Amino acid sequence: MNDSRMPYAVAATVPHDQLGRALHDLRISVTDRCNFRCVYCMPKEVFGRDHQFLERRELLTFEEITRLARIFTRHGVGKIRLTGGEPLVRRNLEELIAMLAAVPGLDLTLTTNGSLLKQKTRALRDAGLKRITVSLDSLDDETFMRMNDVDFPVARVLEGIEAAAAAGFAPIKINMVVKRGMNEAGILPMARFFRERGHILRFIEYMDVGHTNGWRMDDVVTAREIVERINAEMPLEPADPNYRGEVARRWRYRDGSGEIGVIASVTQAFCRDCTRVRLSTEGKLYTCLFATGGHDLRSLLRGGASDDEIDAAIRAIWAKRSDRYSEIRTAQTAKLEKIEMSYIGG
Ligand code: SAM
Ligand code: SF4
Ligand code: SF4
């Protein structure tokens, strides 16, 4: 098929789920391992020394991931985010980036904790990656170390961000999960710091992902509170979304000095526009971040299924989808045995 005609040809066949949502974004977890133990994601008590991570043969290979990515583009997927676990701990990740960068019509991006970014930036860039998101929860070492729980210093993440900016990544997005009593004092210092540097800071409401982080509603600092705090010092105005279904709500500094985003998945659920699907490290497909089960695509890949057969399986999974967890979240649902975020991909 001629690539320039593809969007129109594909548009006619894009499947819709039970709530009329199309499939646009694919998040791929390339590893369930991580060199951090963020308290809200991989608490040490659960992800300790004897924790069993997936074995190498269980992981999708780069070839398998790329084959699936190509099939997903037939469904209208135009955006892929590589995540994990920590994607940069997967060996030779740049080879996968180069393979995905060669798939026509894909907007490719990656979320990282930034710890290995300084040494990997050049290879990522050369492989064809153009956009990057770096997670950083505080500029204060003591707070940051308490959150990453492996004594990792802020300065090394900042060096990674600087290296990425110097290598031409733009805009760089910074993710900050805000947890009450932990890092909310860092909201303003973070906003000031990244506004000066021209990076887009995005505040994420602390979520009840997985079932190990001991989430309580009282620990959530709401998007509204975050915006009010910043607005009091640096006046903000709402900005239009870049596209329908954008996860972060955008706010612009009134003086034109940039923007922030707030991801209010707890207090302002955006399920209605959720066009995302997640592929786990071992090739299970999850139609919601809060799913309790996935669909095994690896056995199709390794069992000799054709592209058309895999395509049909994905179509059938999406057609049945009715997820809207954040809209129906309660203290009770928070206790469900959901899949861990480090495995399913944040
Ligand atoms: N390791 C990479 C990183 O930290 O950027 C990528 C994977 S991480 C699971 C993806 C994003 O999910 C990060 O920005 C992280 O802060 C966020 N995240 C993890 N647990 C969360 C939680 N309980 N609530 C809100 N965001 C969370
Ligand atoms: Fe690792 Fe990212 Fe989870 Fe932190 S948020 S433990 S860096 S996967
Ligand atoms: Fe999408 Fe599920 Fe999150 Fe709702 S709760 S926005 S359906 S991933």
308 close to 254: Cβ distance less than 8 angstroms: no
Which atom belonging to ligand 3 lies closest to the Cα atom of 274? 1
CA distance 283 to 60: 6
- Residue 320 clears pLDDT 50, i.e. is over it: yes
- Residue 68 clears pLDDT 90, i.e. is over it: yes
CATH code: domain of residue 142:
3.20.20.70
Q: Is residue 166 part of a domain?
A: yes
Residue nearest to atom 20 of ligand 1 (CA): 41
Domain that holds residue 278: 11-344
208 pLDDT band, cuts 50/70/90, is: confident
pLDDT at 60: 98
pLDDT at 13: 65
Span 173-186, mean pLDDT? 97
How is residue 218 written in tokens?
């009282």
pLDDT at 10: 44
Q: Is residue 3 part of a domain?
A: no
Residue nearest to atom 4 of ligand 2 (CA): 38
Residue 61: which residues within 8 A CB-CB, separation 6 or more?
Answer: none
- Residue 1 clears pLDDT 60, i.e. is over it: no
Tens of pLDDT, residues 69-87: 999 998 889 999 999 999 9
CA distance 125 to 237: 33
Measure CA 300 to chain center: 25
pLDDT at 8: 36
207 C-beta closer than 6 A to ligand 2: no
Calculate the dihedral angle through the C-alpha atoms of 252, 256, 257, 259, rounding to the nearest 10 degrees: 20
75 C-beta closer than 6 A to ligand 3: no
Span 38-53, mean pLDDT? 93
Q: What kind and span of H or E run contains 279?
A: strand 276-279
Give the ranges where 216-334 is alpha helix by DSSP (H). 223-233, 298-302, 307-320
Span 126-150, mean pLDDT? 97
Distance (Å) from CA 34 to ligand 2 centroid? 6
264 C-beta closer than 6 A to ligand 3: no
Q: What is the pTM of this model?
A: 0.94
Nearest to 236 by CA among 166, 187, 304: 187
17 close to 275: Cβ distance less than 8 angstroms: no
pLDDT at 331: 73
- Residue 169 clears pLDDT 50, i.e. is over it: yes
Inter-CA distances, 9 with 13, 75, 328, Å: 7, 10, 36
Cis-peptide, bond into residue 171, ω within 30° of zero: yes
Distance (Å) from CA 7 to ligand 2 centroid? 35
Rounded to the nearest integer, the mean pLDDT of the chain is: 92
Share of the chain above pLDDT 70, in %: 96
Q: Which residues pair with 203 in a beta bridge?
A: 176, 262
Span 46-74, mean pLDDT? 95
CA distance 100 to 318: 22
Q: Is residue 180 part of a domain?
A: yes
Q: How many domains does the chain have?
A: 1
